[in-house]
Structure 1
Amino acid sequence: MPYLSIRALVVEDNPFQRSLTVSLLKQLGCREVLEADNGGEALAILQAAGSVDVALCDLQMEDREGLEFILRAGGAGQLGTVLITSCLPYDVGRAVRQIGALLGLNIIMDVAMPLRAGSLRKHLDGYLSRRPARQQPSATVAHISENEVRHAILEQQLEPYYQPKFDLLTGEVLGVEVLARWNHPSKGLLTPAIFLPTLEHCGLMDELLFSLMHQALDLQGQAKRRGVRLNLAFNLQASQLADIELASKIKRMLASHHATGSSLTFELTESGLIEVPAVSLENLVRLRMMGCRLSIDDFGVGFSSLQRLCQLPFNEIKLDAEFVRDIENEPRCRAVISSTLAMGQSLGMSVVIEGIETAAQQQQLLKMGCTQGQGYWHSRPMTGADLLRCLQRSAPSARGLL
């Protein structure tokens, strides 16, 4: 049976609904199905029986303990995916999903009752498809040492991968975001979630940045010789701006590659810019004076976005993917996107929408007047060789890219 490895828990105070759901899960082949008629009983079951893979929970039970159950069980790491069988207002549902995200839970809202085999099978398949990706990092992080990452930087095992930014109207590549991947000789391709904590702890973020820049600028030179000018966007931590020599180091690297500042963009996460000392502001100004673009990344997820836009010399806004994820069903997300687009136009700043994953999301964004975006619907991060092939295929429309 495909779901034999899944352990499930049903939390529902309606005996008939609970019985139907338990029966359906067993018919689908779940290894073990537990049941409780309130949140307190569900917590006691988990305490005695251990964690579950999938929990189906009604948040509108009479005892109102459903949310408390998710908070306590999720915080203790006893839940995987949680299917919410209550019909809640969009804003309340979005807040519940945010709570889940903070707890590391995958929460799926508005699972219609009574459950049907087809819809439940889809959710179980979704859990199984996500499970390996969620478990992989924890098994690998503990083995990453400072010596390993230093060696990886020296041997250029930390490689740039490139995720294009697109013109949503024409499909033209407007530039690429440079992302780090570790091509580990024995562990395969590792994502930043695995090695960035070690780099940050050991103070090696500058070494990573300049290693990626060196490799990416080489690729930019290859593209230029083929008639394609390519803008490279690098992620920059706010702490790196405290180095008074940062702008000078970047200027020297550009000179060594015969590149210009206008061919670079630096993306800074706004949540890291709560306090901006004078030296950081000086670096930002110097980068702008060199012609570099400055992008405020993950816009809208922190508490100081508007203040940062007024104080710092950004000329691009990257709106966080959270707002696109619910664009079709959540009026508040559409309002935030529309307001950000209007604000960007008023401030003379380009707006890039992150996290576009479906054709429906793209069509909605186009109707709202969005012209620039990034996400898996267009392209996943790719190697430099794949990017060059992609750009050559799109020529001559790719020629003269900024």
Structure 2
Amino acid sequence: MPTLPLRVLVLEDHTFQRSVAVSMLQALGCQEVFEASDGAQALAVLEAVGQVDIALCDLQMEGMDGLEFLQRVGASGQVKSVIISSSLSADLCRAVHQMVTLLGLELLGDVGKPLDAQVLHDLLKKALAKPVSQQPPISASPLASEDAVREALAQRQLKAWYQPKFNLQTGEVCGVEVLCRWQHPTRGIIPPAVFMPVLERCGLLDELLFCQIDEALTLQTSARAQGFVLNIAFNLQASQLANSDLTAAIRHILVSHAAPGSSLTFELTESGLLEAPATSLESLVRLRMMGCRLSIDDFGAGFSSLQRLCQLPFNEIKLDADFVRNLEHEPRCRAAISSTLALGETLGMAVVIEGIETDAQRLQLLGLGCTQGQGYWYARPMAGDDFLAWLHRRNDREVSDQ
């Protein structure tokens, strides 16, 4: 058996099972194997021997248990990755897996109990095939200055980009979401994380929204003249609903473009709507009275209130992308998607699935009864001219295939 360049810490309170784990790891060729009977002892071991590549961790034990141990080492860098060794039920294991990921640790997998040598061997190979001792993450881009963002807004450098929504079965475009990119004259395309928090802090979100609606309705008119009918969706923060002039300004832009309200959708994340005040509800009602569609974005990512969902005048649900990412391996995600589809049908609300990245996901969603989706499998966000060109290329392919 070749030597594996891995340092492993075994955290197990049962003496015999700990001995078995240590012997198995040594037999599999691990270079160094350390052991501890509870979390406190494991922390002391780490203090003495330094960083380890893997913690093979039981969860239930006397003293400091595995959960508290993982919380302690999550931000310390003392443990690079984790293998869970537990006899917990499948739903609890899934929750622990999520916790480990949120703590910033790499989860190699679950070896179960009693230990299976082949499963353990495969997880060790996984650690070597995808080393966790990677370069430190690149720090997040610093926020732009307020003056720079104000100038960018005044100079119309904050451009609308478009990502299509599509019919999962036919591939037909059934709408488009407007996103924002900063088209800097010297730095190129700047992502929204650099400037959106500044816009929000400075109370400039409404000004950006009105510019985007104006720009997008111009594109919508061009697309309609070329035979493409598009509903255009905009992201709206719940805090913007408190502006009593919001709906009047949107109505004015619609009139200036001779566009009906039904050509627009406004997407709001659910988290800001759970305690929506009366002024916010008035804005939502006015938008619907103008004919606009309202969509709850990232549904399921927060603490959804079904009561509020029934009270608020929404007619579309956009299901959070995490449900699609975990669709293949998480039965509960399949159940959540199916339940949301049934809820949407009962409430008369369309359901759009976000984050579709593979054809396998699309086919699984079709099997569950999904009809509308959005994601990189179909198209990435594009600038306006690129989007129109993309529509033409797609239409030309469909004509040539007939």
Q: Which residue of 1 aligns with 2:115?
A: none
Larger Rg: 2
Range 287-296 or range 254-263, more displaced: 254-263
2:337 alignment partner AA: I
Q: Which residue of 2 aligns with 1:135?
A: 138
Asked if 1:86 is matched to 2:89, the reply is no
Q: Structure with the greater relative contact order (CA < 8 A, sep ≥ 6): 1 or 2?
A: 1
| Aligned-residue offset at 1:46 | 6.5
Q: Which residue of 2 aligns with 1:30?
A: none
- Structure 2: runs of 5 or more not aligned: 12-20, 112-118
Q: Which residue of 1 aligns with 2:120?
A: 113
Q: 3-state SS of the aligned residue for 2:244?
A: coil
Taking the aligned partners of 1:232 and 1:207, their CA distance within structure 2 comes to: 18
1:357 alignment partner AA: E
Q: Which residue of 1 aligns with 2:147?
A: 147
| Aligned-residue offset at 1:121 | 4.6
Q: Which residue of 1 aligns with 2:99?
A: 99
Taking the aligned partners of 2:150 and 2:376, their CA distance within structure 1 comes to: 31
Q: Which residue of 2 aligns with 1:15?
A: 22
1:198 alignment partner AA: V
Map Cα deviations across residues 218-267 of structure 1 (whole Å, 9 max, x no partner). Answer: 22222122111111111111100000111111111122233221111101
After the TM superposition, which residues 2-401 of structure 1 pair with which residues of structure 2 at under 5 Å, given as runs?
A: 10-13=8-11, 14-19=21-26, 23=30, 37=36, 39-40=39-40, 43=43, 56-60=55-59, 65-74=65-74, 76=75, 78=77, 82-86=81-85, 89-100=89-100, 102-103=102-103, 107=107, 109-110=109-110, 112-115=119-122, 119-124=126-131, 135-137=138-140, 140-141=141-142, 143-395=143-395
State whether residues 57 and 66 of structure 1, in contact with CA within 8 Å, keep that contact through their aligned partners in structure 2.
no
Q: TM-score, normalised by structure 2?
A: 0.81
2:138 alignment partner AA: Q
Over the aligned positions, Cα root-mean-square deviation in angstroms equals 3.3
Q: TM-score, normalised by structure 1?
A: 0.81
Over the matched positions of the two proteins, sequence identity in percent amounts to 54
Change (3 A) 1:149 1:104: farther
State whether residues 108 and 123 of structure 2, in contact with CA within 8 Å, keep that contact through their aligned partners in structure 1.
no
| Aligned-residue offset at 1:101 | 5.6
Tell me the number of residue pairs that the alignment of Structure 1 and Structure 2 aligns: 376
Change (3 A) 1:322 1:91: farther
State whether residues 356 and 376 of structure 2, in contact with CA within 8 Å, keep that contact through their aligned partners in structure 1.
yes
Taking the aligned partners of 1:204 and 1:285, their CA distance within structure 2 comes to: 23
Taking the aligned partners of 2:110 and 2:396, their CA distance within structure 1 comes to: 47
1:321 alignment partner AA: A
2:23 alignment partner AA: F
State whether residues 93 and 109 of structure 1, in contact with CA within 8 Å, keep that contact through their aligned partners in structure 2.
no
State whether residues 159 and 183 of structure 2, in contact with CA within 8 Å, keep that contact through their aligned partners in structure 1.
yes
Change (3 A) 1:245 1:328: same
State whether residues 10 and 22 of structure 1, in contact with CA within 8 Å, keep that contact through their aligned partners in structure 2.
no
